[in-house]
Every structure is written in structure tokens, then in C-alpha cells.
Amino acid sequence: MGIPYLFERRGNVSLIVGLLVSVTIGTLALIIAEDIADIGIALGAFLGGLIAGRFTVKPLNGGSRGAAVGVLSLLLYYFFIVPALYMARLITIPEVEPSTLELIVAWIVTILELVGVGFVGGVAGYYTTIGVKPAMKPTPEAKPTIPSLSRCPRCGASLPVDAIYCPQCGFKVREVRPV
């Protein structure tokens, strides 16, 4: 399996769109209400995973794409979006400095949360499109017909319509059905 299925052609578009949706929802939650920013970021990761998982062949592939959206959005938040919003004075950072252990635990919990929520979103995205994928058209079944041979398969003589045996060579050309 590995990573290559994350980078299929359709997968690239769904992964990028899912990431954009995730980052947009999370950023709006950060700007509008810092109190519920964690919920907004998790909701963004779920919806981004939902979009990223829509175009997959297997549920685990959808979940992996959703988890990738969660991790990538987390990296974008912590290294680009939050510092940019802080420098633009759109958000504030709390005055209390946490200890190193608290920061490490917070990072681990946040990573696990967004990976899990993104994974669930990706699997849900796969299952929401099962009915949408084009279904295989059933092959038309052949109607059972009683063959009306016009020529004998053995000698090639012309046969009457109701013939059971060939009049020339005696070969049985049709089964008699009991009435």
C-alpha cells in the first residue's frame, strides 16, 4: 500500500480542496471566537477529511487522506496561520507560559485529535459516495429460445419448421418437450 495512493491524480485535487476547507474553517474559528477555536479546527479537519476521502477506492485510503488533511492543517496552523494572525493583531496569545511538558502533551493530544478526526472524516467521505459512484450496468440476459433450425447441423439439408429429426440423415435436431 504505502503512501503513493495519497498522490493519485484525483486524490491530489480532493486532498488540496479538503486542506483548504479545513484551514478556512479553522482560521475563521480562530478569528471569530478564540474560545471555540479548538472545536472549529476539529470541525475543519473533519470536513476536510470528508472531502479528501470522497474519491477513494477503499475506506482506509479515505481515512489516510483525511488523516493527512488533519496533520497538514495542524502544521499550517502552528507554523503559518497562528503567527500571521498574531502579528496582524487578530488574535492574542495567553500571558501564562506553559511548561515544556505541558506543551509536549498539548502537541501530542492535538496531533492525535486532528489525525483521528480527519481519519473518521475520510472514512465517512468514502461511505457517503458509495451510492454516487457509477454502477455497473447489468448485462442483458439472453432469453431462452428454442432454436428453429432451418438446416441440419450434420448434413446441411433443409428442415421443416416442426422437424424433430432430419428427413435426410435422421440426426435429432430438436428435443421433444412434453406437454
Distance CA 151, CA 91 (A): 91
Whether 166 and 114 share a structural domain: no
Whether 114 and 46 share a structural domain: yes
- Global confidence as pTM: 0.64
Whether 174 and 121 share a structural domain: no
| 46-79 confidence digits (pLDDT tens) | 999 898 888 777 888 888 888 999 999 999 988 9
Task: Confirm if 67 and 115 have CB atoms less than 8 A apart.
Answer: yes
Whether 103 and 54 share a structural domain: yes
- Candidates 9, 1, 3, 26; CA nearest to 117 is 26
